[in-house]
Chains A and B, each alone.
Chain A
Amino acid sequence: MDRREFLKATAASAAAASIGVDLFLKPSQADAAAGVTWHKSVCRFCGVGCGMMVGVKDGKVVSVKGDKESTVNRGFLCVKGFYLYKVITAKSRLRYPMIRKNGKLVRASWDEAMDLVATKFREVIDRYGPDAVAFYGSGQAETEETYIANKLFKGHIGTNNFEGNPRLCMASAVGGYLTTFGADEPVGSYDDLDEAEVFLIVGSNTAECHPVLFDRIVERKTKDPHIKIIIIDPRKTPTDRVADLHIQPIPGYDLAILHAMARIIVKEGYTDEQFIKESVNFSDGKKKISYEEYKQFLEKFTPEYAAKVADVNPDDIVKAARWFGQSPTAVTLWTMGVNQRTRGVWLNNLIHNLHLLTGKIGKPGCDSLSLTGQPNACGGVREGGGLAHILPGHRKIVNPQHRKEIAAIWKVPVSNINPKPGKHTIALFEAVAKGEIKALYVMCTNPAQSLPNLKKFLKGMKDVFLVVADAFHPTETTKLADVLLPAAFWSEKEGVYGCTERRSQYMPKLVEPLGEARWDGDILIDLARRLGYGKNFEHFKTPEDVWNEYLLTTKGRDMDLMGAPYWRLKKVRGLRWPVPTTDHPGTRHRFTEGDPLFPKDKAKGRRMYFYGKPDGRAVVFARPDKGPEEPTDAEYPFALTTGRVLEHFHTMTMTGTVPQLVRAVPGPYVEINPKDAARLGIADRDTVKVITRRGELELTARVIDRPREKTLFVPWHWSEKLANLLTIDAFDPGSKEPEYKVCAAKIVKV
Chain B
Amino acid sequence: MLISSMIVKTRPGKAETVLTQLQKIPRVTTYGVHRGNNIIVVAEIHDIKQLENLTAFIMESIDDVLSVSPTYINFEDEIQE
| Residues of A near any B CB (own CB < 8 A) | 4, 7-8, 10-12, 14-16, 18-21, 23, 55, 57, 60, 62-66, 75-79, 81-83, 85-86, 89, 211-212, 214-215, 218-219, 221-222, 225, 238, 241-242, 647, 658, 660-661, 663-664
The reply on B51 being an interface residue by CB < 8 A is yes
- CB-based nearest B residue for A64: B73
A-facing mask of B52-76, CB < 8 A → 1, else 0?
1001000100000011011111111
Top 9 A-B pairs, shortest CB-CB distance: A660-B49, A11-B5, A14-B72, A15-B5, A65-B72, A76-B69, A63-B74, A62-B76, A15-B71
Query: Please, which residue of chain B has its CB at the minimum distance from the CB of A77?
Result: B70
As a 0/1 sequence over residues 13 to 30 of chain B, the CB contacts with chain A under 8 angstroms (1 = contact) are: 000000000000000010
Residue of A nearest to B2 (CB): A82
CA–CA, A86 and B73, complex, Å: 12
Q: Distance (Å) between the CB of B7 and the closest chain A CB?
A: 6
Closest chain-A Cβ to B16's Cβ sits at a distance in Å of 16
Contact of A214 among B4, B44, B67 (CB under 8 A): B67
- Quick one: closest A residue to B59, CB to CB? A238
Tell me whether A663 and B5 are in contact (CB under 8 A): no
Judge whether A75 and B71 touch: CB under 8 Å. Answer: yes
- Can you list 19 A-B pairs, Cβ within 8 angstroms, ordered by A? A11-B42, A11-B73, A12-B29, A15-B6, A16-B34, A55-B74, A57-B76, A63-B74, A65-B72, A66-B69, A78-B69, A79-B51, A82-B4, A82-B48, A212-B69, A222-B37, A660-B47, A661-B52, A664-B52
Inter-chain contact A81/B35, CB cutoff 8 Å: no
Known contacts: A11-B42, A12-B5, A15-B42. The answer to whether A79 contacts B34 by CB under 8 A is no
B interface residues, Cβ below 8 angstroms from A: 1, 3-7, 9, 11-12, 29, 31, 34-38, 40-42, 44, 47-49, 51-52, 55, 59, 66-67, 69-76, 79
Contact B35 A12 (CB under 8 A): no
Instruction: From B9, B34, B70, B74, give the contact of A7 (CB < 8 A).
Output: B74
Does B7 contact A63, Cβ atoms closer than 8 Å? no
Q: Are B34 and A21 in contact (CB under 8 A)?
A: yes
Q: Are B69 and A12 in contact (CB under 8 A)?
A: no
Are B69 and A215 in contact, with the CB atoms below 8 A?
yes
A21 contacts B35, CB within 8 Å? yes
Task: Tell me which of B29, B66, B75 contacts A85 (CB under 8 A).
Answer: B75
In the complex the two chains form, is B74's CB within 8 Å of A62's CB?
A: yes
Please give the distance in Å from A226's CB to the nearest CB on chain B.
13
Give bound CA distance, A79 to B54, whole Å. 11
B76 touching A79, Cβ below 8 Å: no
CB-CB nearest in chain B for A82:
B73
**Contact between B4 and A76 (Cβ–Cβ < 8 Å)?**
no
20 A-B pairs besides A15-B31, A19-B35, A82-B51 with CB distance below 8 A are: A8-B44, A10-B72, A11-B3, A11-B4, A11-B71, A15-B72, A19-B7, A19-B38, A19-B40, A60-B79, A66-B70, A76-B7, A76-B70, A79-B52, A79-B70, A83-B48, A219-B9, A241-B66, A660-B47, A660-B52
CA distance A10 to B40 in the complex (A): 12
**Complex Cα spacing A81 to B36, Å:** 26
CA distance A11 to B59 in the complex (A): 20
Contact of B71 (CB < 8 Å), options: A18, A83, A221, A238: A18
- Does A79 contact B31, Cβ atoms closer than 8 Å? no
Complex Cα–Cα for A720 and B68 (A): 32
Q: Which residues of A contact B79 (CB under 8 A)?
A: 60, 62, 89
Q: How far is the CA of A297 from the CA of B40 in the complex (A)?
A: 54
Residues in chain A near residue B69, CB distance under 8 A: 18, 66, 76-78, 211-212, 215
Residues on B with C-beta less than 8 A from A15 are 5-7, 31, 40-42, 71-72
CB distance B12 to A78 under 8 Å?
Answer: no
Which of B31, B34, B69 has the most CB atoms of chain A within a 10 A radius of its CB?
B69
In the complex, residue of chain B having the shortest beta-carbon distance to the beta carbon of A86 = B48
A8-B42, A222-B12 known; A658 vs B48 contact (CB < 8 Å): yes
Q: A15-B40, A15-B42, A222-B9 are in contact. Are A7 and B71 (CB under 8 A)?
A: no
Complex: how many Å from CA A515 to CA B4?
29
| A60 and B74 alpha carbons, distance in the complex (Å) | 12
B66 touches A78 (CB 8 A): no
**Complexed CA–CA distance, A546 and B75 (Å):** 34
Structural contact, A23 and B31, CB atoms closer than 8 A: yes
Assuming A15-B41, A222-B9, is B73 touching A63 (CB within 8 A)?
A: yes
Q: How far is the CA of A82 from the CA of B52 in the complex (A)?
A: 10
Given contacts A20-B35, A21-B34, A76-B69, contact A215 B9 (CB under 8 A): yes
Q: In the complex, what residues of A have CB within 8 A of residue B48's CB?
A: 79, 82-83, 86, 658, 660-661
Output the nearest chain B residue to A242 by Cβ-Cβ distance: B66
CB-CB under 8 A from B70, the residues of chain A are: 66, 76-79, 81-82
Complex CA distance for A16 and B31, rounded to whole angstroms: 9
Contacts of A23 in B (CB 8 A): 31, 40
Q: How far is it, in angstroms, between the C-alpha of A4 and the C-alpha of B1 when the chains are bound?
A: 9
Q: Cβ of A14 and Cβ of B35 under 8 Å apart?
A: no
If the complex has contacts A15-B71, A241-B66, are A8 and B40 also in contact, measured as CB distance less than 8 A? Answer: no
Nearest CB on B from A237, distance (A)? 13
A241: chain B residues at CB < 8 Å are: 66
- B31–A663 touching, CB < 8 Å: no
Residues of A with C-beta under 8 A to B12: 222, 225
Q: Inside 8 A of B37's CB, which chain A residues have their CB?
A: 222
Shortest CB–CB separation between residue A45 and chain B, in angstroms? 13
Whole-angstrom distance between the alpha carbons of A18 and B69 in the complex?
Answer: 10
Q: CB-CB < 8 A to A62: which residues of B?
A: 74-76, 79
Give the distance in Å from the alpha carbon of A664 to the alpha carbon of B50 in the complex. 10
Cβ-closest chain B residue relative to A11: B5
Cβ of B56 to closest chain A Cβ, rounded Å: 8
- Chain B contacts for A86, CB-based, 8 A: 48
Contacts of A19 in B (CB 8 A): 7, 34-35, 38, 40
Task: Tell me the complex Cα distance, A78–B5, Å.
Answer: 11
State how many angstroms separate the Cβ of B14 from the closest Cβ of chain A: 11
Q: Which of chain B's residues have a CB closer than 8 A to the CB of A85?
A: 73, 75
Residues of chain B within 8 A (CB-CB) of A81 are: 70
Q: Flag if A63 contacts B76 (CB, 8 Å).
A: yes
Complex contact A215–B51 (CB within 8 A): no
* Residues of chain A contacted by B36 (CB below 8 angstroms): 222
| B75 → chain A closest CB, angstroms | 6
Shortest distance from the beta carbon of A305 to any chain B beta carbon, whole Å:
37
With CB as the reference atom, state the residue of chain A lying closest to B43. A11
Alpha-carbon separation in the docked complex, A661 to B49 (Å): 7
Picked from B42, B47, B49, B59, the residue with its CB within 8 Å of the CB of A12 is B42
What's the least CB distance linking A413 to chain B, in Å? 52
- B residues near A8, Cβ cutoff 8 Å: 3, 29, 42, 44
Q: How long is the Cα–Cα vector from A482 to B59 in the complex, in angstroms?
A: 46
Q: How far is the CB of B33 from chain A (nearest CB, A)?
A: 11
- Distance A215 CA – B69 CA, assembled complex (angstroms): 8
